[in-house]
Structures are given as C-alpha cells and as structure tokens.
C-alpha cells in the first residue's frame, strides 16, 4: 500500500528539559523556569467552583481580555489570547511568512521562534550575541531585503540577559519600518532595573511591534497553556481569522483572570526570587561558575572557569534528585540552566553543591 506523499520538514523538534529521574521519586525539577511559589490561592478558589466542562469556552476570551486591558491600560481590540504564547508565535508566523522570507533570531533564544518560522519554510538567520547578550549591531548586520520578522525575548531565555530601553528604541528605529519586531516579555515580572522597560510599555502604540506575554512563569499556570499577544489593531484582526476556535479553555481563562487580580502573589514571588537568587548566585560565583544577574527566575551557569564541567555537575545533582536543564539543544557548550526553586528546593540545592565542592 502506497504512503501518501507528505512534506518533510528540516527542523529539530522542541525538546523540553528532563522532568523525572528513574529510581528517584519526587525529584526536584529546576529545569523549566516554572513558578517557585506555585499558583495564587485565588486561582484555586475559582477552580473549585463549578465549571461547565461540557460547554465550549468563550471563543475570543473576552472577559480575560477585559482584565488584561484594565490591568495594563491597553486597548481591548489589540489583545489576542492563545494556548500559551507559543500559539501566538505560530499565528504570527502563519500570517507574515512565506517560504522566501527571512527571520532573524538571536543565536541563543527561545527555540519556538525558529521552529514555527521553519515550519512555514522561512530562512532563519542567527544574530551572534556578545557575552550571551543580544546584540543590536549583529541583528542589523543580518537584515536583508527579505527580512520579515525579528524575534527577541527581553529578558532573554536561556541567557538571562536583557536589552536596555535605549537599545530597544534604537533597534526599532534602525530596522526597516516594514519589518515586524516581536518582543517576548515572558520574564518581565522578574526584573526591576532602572534602565529596563517592558516591550508592552515601550511599544504600546506602535504599528510594527507585537508583544508576547505568558501566564506560565510568575503566575504559575504553565499546565493550563495560556498566553497573549498585543499588537496593531489591523494585524490582530487578521490574526483572529486564523486562530483556532475555542483555543483557550474556560479553566485557563478563569485562572488567568484571577491571577491578574492577585498583585500580592506576584510581589511575593518577585521578592522570593530576588532573595534566593542572591544566595544562589553568590554561592555559584564562589565556585567560579559565572552567571547572569538576577533578571529572571533562572540562571545560565557557565562552567568555563570552574574546576568541574557542566556535565559533571549535572550528573552529580541528578544523583541527588535535582534536575537542571542541559544547554545542548541550544548549542551552548559547558553550560546549564538553573531555575530558582521554592525554599526547601533551594536549600537542598545549596547543601548539595557545598558537598560536591567540599
């Protein structure tokens, strides 16, 4: 029997970090940049109420978009919600790209930018980074007449570095106005630096910038798959035409609404991340493991000057039931990514590292 002809796609599929260790129950997962403090209690209270799971959800997430609009003082019509910000990336690629187009992404950046672009058939051009920081100069060097989209996350995953306000302004100014700039604000809630500004605040009124936001990080809704995008009204209107129907579940919409109302939880999560981030970073630096500053809820650990390799430490930690993220899929050599955990997880990590380096 003949197999119907299908298109072969030359991409490496997304490989999530390890989440389990054989023979070890209740392993500590510090590999996925998930919320250290879990989820707001407001979410559990709303989810305990009756949800009619036999009914389709609101197709356009109207109540959630109203809450987003209220919280961030932005326009309702410019908001689109998705099954994670991943879906918004996918819709952007479907709407803007053809097989002859080019997309620029930093060499070390969230893998879904390149994956969804390549599925369409676009050519990916990687801009080099300087000391693991996105370089405006290198992005601009890669621009051609075929460049259609530039994707950046700020702060960046997996490097944990960020672009300053003036650097973002310069990038948008230097790019051709016809090139779409997509700024991923996924880790925005974890950074409070004087020279930082979120993409949403900076480009709220722009006609050629789309902003991505997620509920998977500080809000702790990773398993519900919920995110949103914000962009020019005419572009968002077209995005709705190709959005899948009922793409965000009723549970996810309700949980996201309640999460946005709980500023106390977000502030507590920020303070927790800063407190434990400082402790962990100081310890790592004492072992000559170089890291980014505390701009996110994770660290990129560089073992270049350490007496042990990244692979050695990864195996030692896994033997004790602690999982870090390998950077092999990002082609970053001799590095690991570490998520800041809850109090007990961080204490176990610190004590285990002290034993390894004793």
Per the prediction, the chain carries an average pLDDT of 96
* Residues 95-140: tens digit of each pLDDT: 999 999 999 999 999 999 999 999 999 999 999 999 999 999 999 9
Per-residue confidence at 240, pLDDT binned at 50, 70, 90?
very high
The predicted model gives 156-181 an average pLDDT of 98
Residue 10's pLDDT is 82
Q: Which two tokens stand for residue 230?
A: 């914000």
Residue 336's pLDDT is 98
Element (H, E) at 354: helix 343-356
The predicted model gives 247-254 an average pLDDT of 96
Q: How many whole angstroms separate alpha carbon 120 and alpha carbon 287?
A: 44
Q: Which two tokens stand for residue 351?
A: 């004590």
Whether 66 shows a pLDDT value over 90: the answer reads: yes
Per-residue confidence at 11, pLDDT binned at 50, 70, 90?
confident
Whether 48 shows a pLDDT value over 80: the answer reads: no
The predicted model gives 264-287 an average pLDDT of 98
- Give ∠ CA 311-317-321 in degrees, rounded to 5: 135
Residue 51's pLDDT is 80
- Percent pLDDT > 90 in the chain is 89
DSSP conformation letters of 158-223 = TT-----HHHHHHHHHHS-TTSEEEEE-TTGGG---TT---HHHHSTT-SSEEEEEESSSTT--GG
Residue 225's pLDDT is 97
Residue 28's pLDDT is 96
Q: Is 11 exposed, middle or buried (0-12, 13-18, 19+ CB in 10 A)?
A: middle
- Percent pLDDT > 70 in the chain is 100
Whether 311 shows a pLDDT value over 90: the answer reads: yes
Per-residue confidence at 332, pLDDT binned at 50, 70, 90?
very high
Nearest to 133 by CA among 280, 325, 14, 302: 302
The predicted model gives 5-26 an average pLDDT of 82
Instruction: Provide the 8-state DSSP code for 18.
Output: P
Domains of the chain: residue spans and CATH: 28-40+264-356 (3.90.1150.10), 42-262 (3.40.640.10)
Give pTM, 2 decimals.
Answer: 0.96
């Amino acid at each position: 029997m003949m197999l119907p002809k299908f298109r072969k796609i030359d991409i490496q599929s997304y490989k999530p970090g390890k989440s389990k260790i054989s023979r070890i129950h209740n392993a500590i997962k510090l590999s996925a940049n998930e919320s250290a403090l879990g989820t707001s209690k407001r979410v559990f209270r709303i989810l305990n109420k009756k949800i009619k799971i036999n009914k389709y959800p609101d197709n356009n997430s109207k109540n959630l978009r109203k809450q987003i609009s209220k919280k961030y003082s932005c326009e309702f019509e410019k908001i689109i919600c998705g099954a994670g910000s991943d879906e918004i990336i996918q819709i952007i690629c479907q709407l803007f790209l053809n097989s002859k187009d080019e997309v620029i992404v930093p060499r070390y950046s969230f893998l879904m930018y390149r994956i969804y672009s390549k599925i369409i058939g676009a050519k990916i051009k990687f801009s080099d980074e300087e000391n693991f920081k996105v370089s405006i100069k290198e992005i601009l060097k890669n621009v051609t007449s075929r460049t259609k989209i530039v994707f950046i996350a700020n702060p960046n995953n997996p490097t944990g570095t960020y672009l300053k306000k003036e650097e973002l302004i310069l990038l948008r100014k230097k790019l051709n106005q016809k090139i779409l700039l997509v700024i991923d604000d996924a880790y925005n809630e974890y950074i409070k630096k004087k020279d930082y500004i979120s993409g949403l605040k900076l480009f709220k009124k722009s006609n050629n910038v789309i902003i991505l936001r997620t509920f998977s990080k500080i809000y702790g809704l990773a398993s519900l798959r919920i995110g949103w995008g914000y962009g020019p009204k005419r572009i968002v209107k077209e995005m709705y035409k190709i959005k899948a129907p009922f793409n965000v579940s009723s549970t996810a919409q309700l949980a996201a609404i309640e999460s946005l109302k709980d500023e106390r939880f977000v502030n507590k999560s920020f303070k927790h991340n800063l407190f434990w981030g400082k402790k962990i970073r100081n310890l790592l630096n004492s072992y000559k493991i170089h890291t980014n500053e505390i701009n996110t809820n994770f660290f990129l650990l560089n073992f270049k000057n350490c007496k042990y390799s990244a692979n050695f430490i990864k195996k030692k930690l896994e033997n004790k039931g602690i999982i870090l993220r390998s950077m092999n899929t990002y082609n970053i050599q001799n590095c690991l990514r570490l998520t800041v955990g809850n109090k007990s997880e961080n204490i176990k990590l610190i004590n285990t590292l002290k034993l390894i380096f004793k």
